[in-house]
């Protein structure tokens, strides 16, 4: 099994693995390199029906994983727990739901912390990957699971990029897609945020050029990267509401004086315990490289390939991928002849609203899924 090494990969009872590729049949990556073998960690919920027309693919975010929902009361809750399960939005009594860890990740799918054919972790020798490469790996998993097409592909942020890429790259394999808080291409500002985070990691002496797996690693650098990320996932109003200028101590110090500082430090420490710094570097770079028109004649020709029905969701308080970017996406989709609609999640939670404000986002998605569910045959 070619899984991610060391402490990062949490093997759950319901996690499954699929390995493909060899020296003679490697995966060709978007920037010309190849990779083999590749192991994909994934989880499934529900049953693929006899017509095989009820499969739903859930895509995760930058530091997410394949565990989007629990498999029963004894299991840990997933990151989209209120949306996936019996009787929920993605009703597992009706749909066969699949969620896999992405290429480049560290939760069971091949990434920088995985063992290379040399027998050592890849580290910084891992090839640069793209959102398109992630989707190509998911395509191989789809074949393995004997799924002829996706009823729906859905995700937010990096997951939304994957959902859009699926609709463009494999138009005949996607019936509908839900793209949440994602752009047509990464903006200069979002790239800038990610570059500062990467520099925090690579400037940490513990990074050691990416070959740190026999040591503690760039703990401080990854923590700072996460702190910056958490700022971009919030909104000013949310920060003010949760923390204001509340003090940890009335005695001022150079750091740790305000509650908001403690919150950021806590988030940084928490990520270090479960995520690989090199995966953060590679996945954030894949986000920066995302441009749905890249490698295609034009934006219009790229979007014109789509045959899926599209739902695009913007978030009113998002500072990372502001809602005007999703509105731009819908406009471009419609100009290309795609059946696309737009809804906006009005929330003070910022970019992370789709992972927090479940009571508001579920109704926004329900009508779309209800319309699409009419095409699903009984199991």
Active site residues: 157, 318, 351
Query: What is the tens place of the pLDDT at every residue in 264-273?
Result: 999 999 999 9
CA distance 292 to 223: 31
Question: Cis ω on the peptide bond leading into residue 37 (within 30° of 0)?
Answer: yes
- Say if CB 371 and CB 176 are below 8 A apart: no
Q: What percent of the chain has pLDDT over 70?
A: 96
d(CA 37, CA 27): 8
Cβ atoms of residues 210 and 217 within 8 Å: no
Mean pLDDT of 201-225: 97
Q: Token match 């004997």: residue?
A: 146
What pLDDT score does 22 carry? 96
Pair 249, 257: CB distance under 8 Å: yes
Within 13 Å and on the Cβ side, how many CA atoms surround 259? 9
- Give me the chain's average pLDDT, please: 95
Q: Average pLDDT in the 42-55 region?
A: 98
Q: Is the pTM of this model over 0.85?
A: yes
Which residue has 């990096």 as its token pair? 158
Q: Is the pLDDT of residue 57 over 80?
A: yes
Q: How far apart are CA 60 and CA 163, in angstroms?
A: 10
Task: Please write the tens of the pLDDT for every residue from 154-210.
Answer: 999 999 999 999 999 999 999 999 999 999 999 999 999 999 999 999 999 999 999
Please say if the pLDDT value at position 311 is more than 70: yes
Facing residues of 291 across strands?
185
Q: Which residues have CB under 8 Å from 324's CB, separation 6+?
A: 314
Q: What is the pLDDT of residues 78-119, one digit of tens each?
A: 999 999 999 999 999 999 999 999 999 999 999 999 999 999
Kindly tell me if the per-residue pLDDT of 3 is higher than 60. no
pLDDT > 50? residue 2 = no
- Spatial CB neighbours of 200, under 8 Å, sequence gap ≥ 6: 221, 222, 224, 225, 228
Q: What is the pLDDT of residue 276?
A: 97
Angle at 140 between CA 134 and CA 142, to 5 degrees: 100
When pLDDT is averaged across residues 315-332 and rounded to a whole number, the result is 98
Q: Cα-atom radius of gyration of the chain, to the nearest Å?
A: 20
Supply the angle between the helices 188-202 and 219-233 in degrees, to the nearest 10: 160
pLDDT of residue 9: 63
Q: Which of 232, 180, 184, 194 is nearest to 349 (CA)?
A: 232
Tally of residues, the chain: 379
Q: What is the pLDDT of residues 280-305, one digit of tens each?
A: 999 999 999 999 999 999 999 999 99
Note the pLDDT of residue 347: 98
Average pLDDT of the segment spanning 254-261: 93
- The pLDDT assigned to 1 comes to 44
Angle, helix 131-144 to helix 158-169, in steps of 10 degrees: 70
- Token output for 325: 């970017």
Does pLDDT of 352 surpass 90? yes
Task: Reduce the secondary structure of the chain to three states and give it as a string.
Answer: CCCECHHHCCCCCCCEEEEECCCCCCEECCCCCEECCEEEEEEEECCCCCCCCCEEEEECCCCCCCCCCCCCCCCCCCCCHHHEECCCCEECCCCEEEEECCCCCCCCCCCCCEECCCCCECHHHCCCCCHHHHHHHHHHHHHHCCCCCECEEEEECHHHHHHHHHHHHCHHHECEEEEECCCCECCHHHHHHHHHHHHHHHCCHHHHHHCCCCCCCCHHHHHHHHHHHHHHHCCHHHHHHHCCCCECCCCCCCCCCEHHHHHHHHHHHHHHCCCCHHHHHHHHHHHHHCECCCCCCCHHHHHCCCCCEEEEEEECCCCCCCHHHHHHHHHHHHHCCCCEEEEEECCCCHHHHHHCCHHHHHHHHHHHHHHHHCCCCCC
The structural domains of the chain, ordered by start, are 6-187+291-373 (3.40.50.1820), 191-284 (1.10.1740.110)
Given a cut of 50, whether residue 328 has pLDDT beyond it is yes
The answer to whether residues 108 and 3 touch, using CB atoms and an 8 Å cutoff, is: yes
Q: How confident is the model at residue 120 (pLDDT cuts 50, 70, 90)?
A: very high
Contact between residue 141 and residue 40 where contact means Cβ atoms under 8 Å apart: yes
Asked if pLDDT for residue 316 goes beyond 90, the answer is yes
Neighbours of 161 (CB within 10 A): 31
pLDDT at 36: 97
CB 376 within 8 A of CB 151: yes
**What pLDDT does residue 249 have?**
83
- Give the residue-averaged pLDDT of 47-73: 97
Confidence of residue 256 (pLDDT cuts 50, 70, 90): confident
pLDDT mean over 341-370: 97
């Amino acid at each position: 099994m070619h899984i991610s090494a060391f402490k990062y990969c949490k093997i759950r009872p319901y996690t499954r693995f699929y390995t493909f590729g060899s020296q003679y049949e490697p995966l060709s990556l978007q920037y010309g390199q190849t990779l083999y073998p590749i192991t994909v960690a994934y989880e499934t919920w529900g049953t693929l029906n006899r017509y095989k027309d009820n499969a739903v693919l859930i895509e995760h975010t930058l530091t997410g994983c394949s565990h989007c929902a629990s498999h029963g009361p004894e299991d840990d809750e997933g990151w989209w727990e209120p949306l996936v399960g019996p009787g929920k939005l993605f009703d597992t009594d009706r749909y066969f739901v699949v969620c896999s860890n992405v290429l480049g990740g560290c939760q069971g799918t091949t990434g920088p912390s995985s063992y290379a054919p040399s027998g050592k972790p890849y580290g910084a020798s891992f090839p640069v990957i793209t959102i398109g490469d992630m989707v190509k790996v998911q395509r191989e998993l789809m074949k393995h699971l004997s799924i002829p097409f996706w009823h729906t592909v859905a995700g937010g942020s990096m997951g939304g990029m994957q959902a859009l890429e699926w609709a463009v790259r494999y138009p005949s394999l996607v019936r509908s897609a839900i793209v949440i808080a994602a752009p047509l291409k990464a903006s200069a500002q979002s790239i800038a945020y990610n570059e500062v985070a990467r520099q925090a990691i690579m400037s940490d002496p513990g990074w050691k050029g990416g070959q740190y797996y026999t040591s503690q690693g760039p703990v401080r650098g990854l923590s700072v990267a996460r702190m910056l990320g958490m700022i971009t996932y919030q909104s000013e109003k949310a920060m003010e509401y949760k923390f204001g200028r509340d003090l940890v101590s009335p005695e001022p110090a150079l750091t740790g004086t305000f509650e908001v500082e403690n919150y950021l430090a806590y988030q940084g420490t928490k990520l270090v315990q479960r995520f690989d710094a090199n995966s953060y570097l590679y996945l954030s770079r894949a986000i920066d490289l995302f441009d749905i028109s890249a490698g295609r004649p034009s934006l219009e020709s790229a979007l014109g390939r789509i045959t899926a029905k599209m739902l695009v969701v913007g978030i009113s308080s998002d500072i990372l991928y502001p809602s005007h970017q999703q509105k731009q996406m819908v406009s471009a989709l419609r100009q290309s002849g795609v059946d696309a609609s737009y809804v906006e999640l009005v929330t003070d939670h910022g970019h992370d609203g789709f992972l927090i404000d479940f009571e508001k986002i579920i109704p926004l998605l329900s009508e779309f899924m209800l319309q699409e569910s009419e095409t699903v045959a009984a199991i």
